[in-house]
Amino acid sequence: MALDIHGSFREFSLPDLGEGVAEGEVARWFVKRGESVEEDDPIVEIVTDKTSVIISAPWPMTIEEVLFKDGEIARVGEALFRYRPRETALRAGIDPPTAQPRSTAAATDEAEPRRAEGSARPLVSMTALRAKGRDDDEGWSEGRLAEQSGPLPSVESAEAKREIVASAVGDLRESAPGTALYEALPAERRRGERVHRASVEERLPPGLKSHARDREAAPLASRSSKERDRSEGVRVPIGTRRKTIASRMRQSRDNAVQATLVEECEMDALIGLRDELRAGAGPEALPRGSLSFLPFFLKAVAHSLVDFPRFSSRIEGDDFQLEPSLPIGVAVDTDEGLLVPVVRRAKQASIFDLARELERLSEGARAGGLPSDELRGSVFTITSLGKLGSLFGTPILNPPELGILGIHRARERPIVRGGSIAVGRIANLSLSFDHQWIDGAYAARFLCAIIERIERPALLLAE
């Protein structure tokens, strides 16, 4: 909102984020008071319960004051910061409507996305920023990023990276580039990746090793206030997304009578078919050459939902409301918590189509940039913990859904085939359901239908 069109400060309000979102958490500021920014430079990142967006400068300006701290909640229409348009903008008579925020994943795959004439350039995602600065500690410089993505500020400086190392040895100055400590760091650490503290200390020169041990052994009272804070623990605000997850967990607990069935599933035939398809697929079918079990389970679940429609329905008053398009949610683990993007038309899609769609949704969820319409509307959810090595678990219902399937790790086990003992790969499947509306026998038949399709996976290619 412009307070004075003749050059006094103005206020920039949080714009409408769409899809009924009324508020967002201020995740981080890219600017500070007195800083000048150019058009399209990032100003602030806002996180909602579903995604995150970066608000950019609609024209050249100088920041007068930021009105929210990191972690605080801003409502749509509230002023986020005060600024003064720069003289170049004023001379041009620029006072367009507030720029709309862009998803942080809006330009992950394109260095310079196409845009309508006169519109603000989409910002490169934070995932892309991190990827472009990993070759060296100075790779975050504005000049280097400008060559690839336009003018963007340093997001995670080399100083911030060195501070992590300093916590292990106690002296920030000793970890600067060119010092003995810096040269002792593993290559992973120099690229900003996390490494175990021991792998740093074992590479230190003798003098720095003893310094690190002495600092570690020093009494807490003799350490600096910063070190004491680090030793005594730090309060970390709970973010908007985690609060939303917690709220939905309580909603599931309070509104559903959850029961869980667990059954074994032989995976040998599926593993054989998966390996055969992967070996014969070209780069167009599988751009990254990987093929997980999830596309097959999506097909098996989608076809089984047709036979057991109660699992694809919602309770609407006194009725079961059926959803014939069968949108299925797939749980994705992200740094900010669990997200459930939705796969549409899994029954009609091919295995390769589903593999590409799952890859797109997973990458978008982890980058924090999926639009909200791709994170809602599912009638059933699949969650897979197999890569993490779980034996079995109890998936929690994703309200208002009535069922969720958990896929667990395939392990070699002794099994009986034709009266003889053999070794086969077995995975446990766990099906949680709302026992208010679904009986145990109905749920057991549904789970067996899924298992039958997985154990005879060639049927999935024919259906």
What is the secondary structure of 307-325 as a DSSP string?
A: HSGGGGEEEETTEEEE-TT
Q: Which residues pair with 252 in a beta bridge?
A: none
How far apart (Å, rounded) are the C-alpha atoms in residues 392 and 385? 9
Same domain, 81 and 213: no
User: Which pair of structure tokens corresponds to residue 363?
Assistant: 């990458």
- Strands, E assignment, 57-107: 61-66, 73-75, 79-85, 102-103
- The sign of the CA dihedral 291, 292, 294, 297 is positive
Same domain, 336 and 376: yes
Mark which of 211, 232, 253 sits at the end of a domain: 232
How far apart (Å, rounded) are the C-alpha atoms in residues 432 and 443? 9
Give the domain extent around 199: 158-232
Residue 1 counted as domain residue:
no
Residue 71 counted as domain residue:
yes
Q: What is the pLDDT along the chain (463 residues), one digit of tens a residue?
A: 434 444 467 899 988 876 567 888 888 899 989 999 998 888 998 887 666 788 888 889 999 999 998 888 888 899 999 998 876 545 545 444 444 444 444 433 333 333 333 333 333 333 333 333 333 333 333 333 333 333 333 334 444 444 443 443 343 334 445 555 445 555 544 444 444 555 555 555 555 554 545 545 555 555 555 555 555 677 877 777 788 888 888 989 999 999 999 999 999 999 999 999 998 888 888 877 789 999 999 999 999 999 999 999 988 888 888 888 899 999 998 887 888 999 998 999 999 999 999 999 999 888 877 887 888 889 999 999 877 777 888 999 998 999 999 999 999 999 998 889 999 999 999 999 999 999 999 999 999 999 999 999 988 887 7
Residue 4 counted as domain residue:
no
Same domain, 318 and 201: no
Count of the separate structural domains present in the chain? 3
As separate numbers, helices (DSSP H) first and strands (DSSP E) second, the chain gives 15, 20
Amino acid, res. 25: E
Same domain, 259 and 224: no
Do strands 403-407 and 380-384 pair parallel, antiparallel, or not at all (unpaired)? Answer: parallel
Residue 47 counted as domain residue:
yes
Do strands 73-75 and 23-29 pair parallel, antiparallel, or not at all (unpaired)? Answer: antiparallel
Q: Is the pTM of this model over 0.75?
A: no
Mark which of 232, 251, 271 sits at the end of a domain: 232
User: Closest by alpha carbon to 237, among 49, 25, 21, 14?
Assistant: 25
Residue 275 counted as domain residue:
yes
Same domain, 324 and 402: yes
Q: How many CA within 13 A on the CB side of residue 1? A: 8
Mark which of 184, 210, 232 sits at the end of a domain: 232
Task: Read off the CATH number of the domain in which 407 is found.
Answer: 3.30.559.10
